[in-house]
Structure 1
């Protein structure tokens, strides 16, 4: 259990960093935000996959599919956060 948590933190950090570069947000995001985006993104994608497949859940962190899921989830999370933040701004 502890190893699983540690592995998702490591994979989440790397996936979040890659996702922030893909989304063009690496300069604005720090290490903690990258790790959080990767972990939360992987959780969100895991939840979606679990709902679609009827409970299959997330693959292990150190698998190719787990890593890809974490990157996709982090990209989605970064996109949603940027969209919500952008809504509050008004053009003058």
Structure 2
């Protein structure tokens, strides 16, 4: 199953919620920034997954890839924000 841009945004919303669940804690930007990071993570994860040939193997795989991207971006965001504070 191949997702388009809008599909990865929707998957990114789910991924953002899962990433927040995996990495609980107070984020400097609040829920809106976390949602945006989830969407970005979905897009990044979807792009990388499709480049590796694993992006279109089903809904669960797509959500896992997007969640991994969102967790990575959330971790980077927290790292950058904690150094600047």
Please report the TM-score for the alignment, with normalisation by the length of structure 1: 0.66
The runs of 5 or more residues in structure 2 that have no matched partner are none
1:36 Cα deviation after fit = 2.1
The runs of 5 or more residues in structure 1 that have no matched partner are none
Q: Is 2:78 aligned against 1:78? A: no
> Aligned residue for 2:30?
29
Higher gyration radius (CA): 1
**RMSD over equivalenced CA pairs, Å:** 2.9
Higher RCO, 1 vs 2 (CA within 8 Å, ≥6 residues apart): 2
Alpha-carbon spacing, 1:34–1:78, altered in 2? closer, same or farther (3 Å): same
Alpha-carbon spacing, 1:18–1:88, altered in 2? closer, same or farther (3 Å): same
Greater helix share, structure number: 2
Please report the TM-score for the alignment, with normalisation by the length of structure 2: 0.70
